[in-house]
Structure formats: structure tokens, C-alpha cells
């Protein structure tokens, strides 16, 4: 592995320890992480401090439960010109939305592109409810996405990367390994080459997306996977892409494949 340029890292106030390691470091040893590890794939859960994990695992104490409750309330609330709620068509989410999140992003015949859960929710809002789309990072969108994904809690991620998804998967994969920004680093430089190593105050994980939207203690609220992508792009001083952009939706598909078999953890809690 090319040694990371420490000077640049210090310049960007990132720092510490990264230059010392060589080789691919995905911990191959099984550490008894149970369902949070499948082969060499490990959820961020397994890299997160015990105190933070305890917050996630406490059903009442998980601060994202407020957003989950909000999503549940929105589910049955009529909105838009058609006078419908999600529940009008989808009835009980515990049944109809169970497992749905494991297969997203998914190819949409209608748009000819990949569609993530947020985008599918907005399609239902505009077409089936004749209601305004939710803004991507709004409280409503985060709440509804958390609610829908939470119906698949504990179920293994299983996105399709065959058939019409192939070119989108390839684009997402290319993005993942492309070096970018002033620090000239790819996603893989941090999340494939260095999981387990410290960067600033954080222990690097494999950068898995199975817990999103995640409640970040730093944000004091939940944020979408695309918000995280933007943050990671900015860390290397690269231009972030837009929320819901094709670039990020394809990247999300690649991450869905990377996470195959890992459980949907939404809403996870992270530093
Ligand atoms: C007028 C009926 C109607 C309403 C109202 C409606 N939907 Fe849908 N929804 C559908 C139909 C039809 C589909 C496509 C089903 C399929 O592909 O099998 C769908 C699909 C979905 C899917 C993808 C399911 C899958 O298996 O891939 C999600 C998620 C979803 N809707 C969420 C919502 C949410 C959240 C709301 C409220 C904001 C909502 N829908 C409102 C009719 C509706
Ligand atoms: C300079 C190192 C660095 C690069 C490059 C980087 N990230 Fe990250 N990323 C981090 C840090 C630090 C965290 C927080 C600790 C952790 O989970 O690794 C993080 C967290 C994440 C998480 C959240 C993991 C979880 O369990 O909640 C995802 C997803 C992620 N990154 C994806 C990406 C993607 C996709 C790219 C490429 C666009 C990328 N990262 C590039 C440093 C980086």
C-alpha cells in the first residue's frame, strides 16, 4: 500500500497513525460478533465503543426512537390531493414493509435508474398521494425512512446487482475505488485498507451502510447515508455530490452489495 502522506493529513487536521500500517487489514479473525459479522464483512457496530452500542441497543433510550415514532405517525396521516395516507394502500407496515429495505437500492423501470428507499417514498408521495415530495434530509424524510427500514430490522441485506442493475453497480464500484480530493484518497483507502486503525478520535470501520439513517452523537440527530457520503468526501477535501444524486445512489448500491448478509440495523447509533 502506498504510504499515506502524513503531511497532507496533518494539514487537513485528520492525522494519526495511518502511515504506520501496510497491507489490507480487514480483520480476518472471527471475534464472535454474531450476526454483525458475515465472513470478513463487519458492521460498524463491531467497531463502535461499548457505551455507544449500549445506546443503540436500548430500545427506549435510543435517541432515534423519536424519529421512529414520528415516522409511524406519518404513516397513517393523510396528505396530498388524493386524500390518502401510506396506510391507505400499504396497511400494516410491519407486514407490508417487512424485508423491503434489504433489497434497496433497486432498479426502477419507470426512471430507468436505481432508486433508494427515500426516492421510492417520494415516488409514492407524488404519484400515489399527489402530495409534495419530502426534502431529502428533512425531519419527515428521515423519520419515514427510519420507519420503513426499521421494519426489516435484523434481516440480512440482499440487493440485486444483476440484470439491469449491472451498469449502476459498476459505476458505484468505480466511484468507491477512485481517488479524489486534495488528499487524493478513495473510499477504499480508509474503509478497505484501514479498518480498526484510528483516524483523529475515530476508529475506522469498514464504512458499511446497513445502519442508516444513523443517529450520530456528533450531529445530535439522525442523518442519511448520503449525508455521510458528503462528510466522507469533504474529509479528503473533495467536492461532495448532491443528496439523492445518481452518483450517490449508485454508490449506495455498491455499499448494499458490500454489506450483503449483514443485518439492517436502522436506526443505528454512531459517534
Ligand atoms: C395509492 C396507493 C399508495 C399509497 C398512498 C402509497 N403507496 Fe407506496 N406503493 C404503492 C404501489 C402500487 C407500490 C408498488 C408495489 C410493488 O412494486 O409491488 C408501492 C411501493 C412502495 C414501496 C416499495 C415496496 C417494495 O417492495 O419495493 C415503498 C417503500 C412504499 N411504497 C412506501 C410508501 C410510503 C412510505 C407511502 C406514504 C408516504 C406510500 N408508499 C404511499 C402504492 C401506494
Ligand atoms: C480519510 C478517511 C475516509 C475516507 C477516504 C472515507 N471515509 Fe467514510 N468514514 C471515515 C470515518 C473516520 C468514519 C467514522 C468511523 C467509521 O465508521 O469508519 C467514516 C464512516 C463512514 C460510514 C458510516 C459507517 C457506519 O457504521 O455508520 C460510511 C457508510 C462511510 N464512511 C462511507 C464512505 C464512503 C462511501 C467513502 C468514499 C466516498 C468514504 N467513506 C471515504 C473516514 C473516511
Residue 84 is part of a domain; what is its CATH number? 1.10.760.10
Percentage with pLDDT > 90 across the chain: 86
Burial (Cβ within 10 Å: 0-12, 13-18, ≥19) of residue 271: middle
Ligand 1 within 6 A of CB of 190:
no
- Is 53 within the bounds of a domain? yes
Residue 150 banded pLDDT, cuts 50, 70, 90: very high
Q: What is the mean pLDDT of residues 7-14?
A: 40
The model's pLDDT over 157-179, given as tens digits with 9 standing for 90+, comes to 999 999 999 999 999 999 999 99
pLDDT at 12: 41
Report long-range pairs for 220-225 (Cβ below 8 Å, ≥24 apart): 221/67, 221/142, 222/64, 222/67, 222/142, 222/146, 222/267, 223/137, 223/142, 224/118, 224/136, 224/137, 224/141, 224/142, 224/145, 225/252, 225/255
- Is 24 within the bounds of a domain? no
Cα 110 to middle of ligand 1, angstroms: 14
- Is 22 within the bounds of a domain? no
Ligand 1 within 6 A of CB of 4:
no
Q: What is the mean pLDDT of residues 35-52?
A: 96
In which domain, by residue range, is 174 found? 38-271
Among all bound ligands, the one having the nearest atom to the CA of 176 is 2
- Is 31 within the bounds of a domain? no
- Is 137 within the bounds of a domain? yes
- Is 135 within the bounds of a domain? yes
pLDDT at 60: 83
- Domain tally, the chain: 1
Cα 128 to middle of ligand 1, angstroms: 8
Pocket of ligand 2 (CB under 6 A): 44, 185, 187, 189-191, 199, 202, 204-205, 207-209, 211, 214, 228-229, 232-233, 235-236, 251, 270
The model's pLDDT over 75-127, given as tens digits with 9 standing for 90+, comes to 999 999 999 999 999 999 999 999 999 999 999 999 999 999 999 999 999 99
Q: What is the mean pLDDT of residues 242-270?
A: 98
Q: Considering only CA atoms, which residue is closest to atom 37 of ligand 2?
A: 187
Among all bound ligands, the one having the nearest atom to the CA of 218 is 2
124 catalytically annotated: no
- Is 21 within the bounds of a domain? no
Residue 131 contacts residue 184 (beta carbons within 8 Å): no
Please give the Cα distance from 229 to 259 (Å, whole number): 16
Residue 252 contacts residue 167 (beta carbons within 8 Å): no
- Is 59 within the bounds of a domain? yes
Residue 31 banded pLDDT, cuts 50, 70, 90: low
pLDDT at 254 over 90: yes
Who wins on pLDDT, 210 or 199? Answer: 210
Amino acid at each position: 500500500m502506498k504510504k499515506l502522506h502524513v503531511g497532507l493529513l496533518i494539514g487537513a487536521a485528520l492525522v494519526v497513525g495511518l502511515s504506520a500500517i501496510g497491507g489490507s487489514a480487514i480483520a480476518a479473525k472471527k471475534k464472535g460478533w454474531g450476526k454483525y459479522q458475515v465472513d470478513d464483512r463487519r458492521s460498524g457496530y463491531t467497531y463502535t465503543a461499548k457505551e455507544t452500542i449500549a445506546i443503540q441497543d436500548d430500545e427506549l433510550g435510543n435517541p432515534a426512537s423519536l424519529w421512529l415514532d414520528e415516522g409511524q405517525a406519518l404513516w397513517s396521516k393523510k396528505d396530498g390531493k388524493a386524500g390518502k395516507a401510506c396506510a391507505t394502500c400499504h396497511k400494516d407496515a410491519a407486514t407490508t414493509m417487512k424485508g423491503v429495505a434489504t433489497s434497496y437500492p433497486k432498479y426502477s423501470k419507470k426512471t430507468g435508474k436505481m432508486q433508494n428507499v427515500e426516492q421510492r417514498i417520494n415516488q409514492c408521495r407524488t404519484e400515489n398521494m399527489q402530495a409534495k415530495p419530502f426534502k431529502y434530509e428533512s425531519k419527515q424524510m428521515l423519520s419515514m425512512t427510519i420507519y420503513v427500514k426499521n421494519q426489516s430490522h435484523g434481516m440480512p441485506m440482499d440487493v440485486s446487482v444483476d440484470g439491469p442493475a449491472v451498469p449502476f453497480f459498476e459505476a458505484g464500484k468505480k466511484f468507491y475505488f477512485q481517488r479524489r480530493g486534495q488528499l487524493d484518497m478513495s473510499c477504499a483507502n480508509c474503509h478497505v485498507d484501514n479498518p480498526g486503525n484510528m483516524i483523529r478520535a475515530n476508529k475506522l470501520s469498514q464504512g458499511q451502510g446497513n445502519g442508516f439513517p444513523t443517529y450520530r452523537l456528533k450531529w445530535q440527530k439522525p442523518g442519511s447515508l448520503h449525508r455521510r457520503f458528503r462528510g466522507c468526501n469533504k474529509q479528503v477535501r473533495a467536492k461532495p455530490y448532491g443528496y439523492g444524486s445518481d452518483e450517490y445512489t449508485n454508490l449506495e448500491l455498491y455499499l448494499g452489495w458490500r454489506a450483503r448478509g449483514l443485518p439492517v440495523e436502522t436506526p443505528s447509533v454512531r459517534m
